[in-house]
A and B are shown apart, each in its own frame.
Chain A
Amino acid sequence: DAGVIQSPRHEVTEMGQEVTLRCKPISGHNSLFWYRQTMMRGLELLIYFNNNVPIDDSGMPEDRFSAKMPNASFSTLKIQPSEPRDSAVYFCASTRDSSAYGYTFGSGTRLTVV
């Protein structure tokens, strides 16, 4: 398996623009997580899905953030409109049946909003 695949790897955008981050989990993994990493706050959970259903979105910072998982092999995280404080590395992770074993992270998307 190619692992958790995220795209793009880097994104630079202007304030106010819409940004869409993409994630393909490992085949057979039915739990998917979006995290954000900054120097100040470390890694923070934004939202997680189980069997394509959002379970906990309490970490989503504002209404500007939204996430979808239309099928078992694809998820998106959208920011609209983007702001400079959204600059961070966004990670997607997946695992099987809510197990802590096999927790696998993607390589992340580094987002810079100027």
Chain B
Amino acid sequence: KQEVTQIPAALSVPEGENLVLNCSFTDSAIYNLQWFRQDPGKGLTSLLLIQSSQREQTSGRLNASLDKSSGRSTLYIAASQPGDSATYLCAVPANQAGTALIFGKGTTLSVSS
């Protein structure tokens, strides 16, 4: 059974710092991996999706990498800003047939000004 783990559970950094969030999964036979952002009291917003054939994806200050063989993904945030404060969750498909997702519990990021 696929399990997704995110470490650390919480992270506090000063504005301007570069940071890395970690995600690991137990079954490397994944089709893709997705990173989401959740603001307090809100739903989830998809940030980046990496297909299994890709090594990384970039969007602005965000860069996500994927290493299937080791069962790991990282989300790199450059030059962090207070507006980046949120919970970041990674997710992988539950099976090959559909897009029901299995989520990690997330890393709550706080960026202080």
Residues from chain A with Cβ under 8 Å of B44 in the complex: 91, 93, 105
B46-102, CB < 8 A from A? 46, 49, 89, 93-94, 97-102
Residues from chain B with Cβ under 8 Å of A56 in the complex: 94, 98, 100
Total inter-chain residue pairs, C-beta < 8 Å = 55
Chain A contact residues: over half helix, strand or loop, or mixed?
strand
Give the interface residue-count category, chain B.
20 to 34
Contact B98 A98 (CB under 8 A): yes
Q: Contacts A42-B104, A42-B106, A45-B94 known; A100 to B43 CB distance under 8 Å?
A: no
B103: CB under 8 A from chain A?
yes
One of A31, A42, A100 near B32 (C-beta < 8 A):
A100
Contact A105 B45 (CB under 8 A): yes
Extra 16 A-B pairs, beta carbons < 8 Å, given A48-B100, A103-B101: A42-B105, A45-B94, A45-B101, A55-B97, A55-B98, A56-B98, A98-B99, A99-B99, A100-B32, A100-B34, A100-B49, A101-B49, A103-B46, A105-B43, A105-B44, A108-B43
Q: Contacts A100-B32, A100-B93 known; A106 to B43 CB distance under 8 Å?
A: yes
Contact B34 A33 (CB under 8 A): no
Residues from chain B with Cβ under 8 Å of A33 in the complex: 99-101
**In the bound complex, how far is the Cα of B8 from the Cα of A13, in angstroms?**
35
**In the bound complex, how far is the Cα of B93 from the Cα of A56, in angstroms?**
13
Contact with B along A5-47 (1 / 0, CB 8 A): 0000000000000000000000000010100000000110100
